Amino acid sequence: MAYSTESFAGVAAQQTYTFLTLGFLSSAHLSVTVNGAPASFSINAARTQLTIAAPAIAGGETILVTRATPATEVGRIVNFQDLSHVRQSDLDTSALQLLYIAQETLDVAAGAERLELGGSGQWAGEGRKIQNLANGSASTDAATKGQLDSASIVAGNLPVVSAGDNDKSLAVVAGAWAVRTPSQMRTHFGLGSAALLTAGVGANNAVQFDGSARYPSNDGRNIDLSNNAVTTALGLRYRTTIGNVAQSSEQTPVNDATGTWAQSAASRLTPGTLTALDNSGDIVVDNAGKKVTLSAGTWEIEYLMRCYNLNAAAGNDQQLRVKVTNDDDTGAQVVYDTDNDNLDVESPGATTRALLPVHNILLLKLASGGAVVFRAANATSTDIRINTTRLVFRKVSTSTT
């Protein structure tokens, strides 16, 4: 316990503090610091309160008041004279001066530079070091810096590392910390050889999908399982490109009642809009030319049509003829033709007409790619109407053999 000092914890915007334990004979015997820096102050007439003029208190500072009572003969406050009246106040002042000097001497003997209790009731180091400590031994002892510097591997502690351990990591092995190399860490975490690969699209890279979740670079077109024995036996196909060409408006096929089909641009069905497309340029739709251009490879072409017989007379059945050709109107390259197996579309015998679905799938091999035209015609009359048409193109292989 210090007899000659008293400390306060600074309170925001509060400059005046009341003494609780510190007594003094004159304000001239006091000095005040705020966080170790000298402060200007004043004492009230009753010597019970301290008011700090500067600095302004923000809160949390340590305000320390230190008393230093004059201890020299020149500094005596009471000097008795012969035959003078001895007053109680003079005796009290003289006794207090001796008492305060004794207290300050005790404080100095206990250590002039001592730790004070801060406002929180904890010892305040005031920015100083504690020196000449013995090494701690009990769990509640303070540890010296030397003990911390020489800390070594014991159960549960971290191991000692050096520059030779750069690029290594710590792992818990058999219940204790251990230094492990990158290879050991991969084994530790159960990572395979793929952990050593760089994600990308180059040689020896781990495959990284593009922003559309597709295979990189060639969009999977280099993957060809068409000649694989297993997939052939199972009848499997690998589709790298799928595009739907949908036509929603109704069309009247060209009249071909002669059966010879004078092939012309009028027989071309409008391709419409390409949708649900994943093609990377494998499919190009030309609405003006009513054609679809496909890249080289083996393609599945699937068509689905809904049609009806416009003639309401009973028994007046009609036939629909479908062709797939190259991009010309000469008929030089016919890919598919239902000439010998045209579709019969029955007359309903009433004004109510039922829609008849027409569905088929054909295989097309294009050695160098090219345009494909889908055609339809009234094979016997002019009464058939095509309500909707949908074409689906699937590239099943890059092979053309």
Write down the residue that tokens 């406002």 correspond to: 119
Give CATH for domain 241-397.
Answer: 2.60.120.40
At residue 21's C-alpha, the angle toward residues 18 and 24, to 5°, is 85
Write down the residue that tokens 């030319």 correspond to: 289
Structure token pair of residue 294? 């496909």
Structure token pair of residue 267? 């027989």
Q: Closest Cα to residue 322, out of 346, 306, 341? A: 341
Q: Closest Cα to residue 390, out of 361, 366, 369, 363? A: 361
| Run of H or E residues at 51 | strand 49-54
Write down the residue that tokens 């705020």 correspond to: 34
DSSP secondary structure string, 142-187? PPPHHHHHT----TTSPPP--GGGTT-EEEEETTEEEEE-HHHHHH
Query: Residues 175, 179, 180, 185: what is their CA dihedral angle, to the nearest 10 degrees?
Result: 50
By CB atoms closer than 10 A (0-12, 13-18, 19+), residue 56 is: exposed
Write down the residue that tokens 């050709």 correspond to: 325
pLDDT for 121: 65
pLDDT for 40: 95
pLDDT for 142: 87
Per-residue pLDDT of the chain (401 residues; tens, 9 = 90+): 678 899 999 999 999 999 999 999 999 999 999 999 999 999 999 999 999 999 999 999 999 999 999 988 888 888 778 777 788 888 888 888 888 888 888 877 766 555 666 666 677 776 777 888 898 889 888 888 888 777 665 555 677 778 888 888 888 888 777 888 888 888 888 888 888 888 887 788 888 887 767 676 555 555 555 555 555 555 555 566 788 888 778 888 888 877 667 678 888 888 888 887 777 778 888 888 888 999 888 889 998 989 998 888 888 888 888 888 888 887 667 788 888 788 888 888 887 788 888 899 988 888 888 899 988 888 888 888 998 888 898 888 877 77
Domain extent listing, the chain? 5-124, 241-397
Q: Is the peptide bond before 38 cis (omega within 30 degrees of 0)?
A: no
pLDDT for 114: 58
Chain centroid to CA 1: how far?
Answer: 57
Write down the residue that tokens 């800390």 correspond to: 151
C-alpha distance from residue 4 to each of 105, 115, 117 (Å)? 9, 13, 14
Write down the residue that tokens 């106040």 correspond to: 89
Q: Closest Cα to residue 391, out of 300, 301, 306, 323? A: 301
What is the C-alpha to C-alpha distance for residues 261 and 134, in angstroms, rounded to an integer? Answer: 112
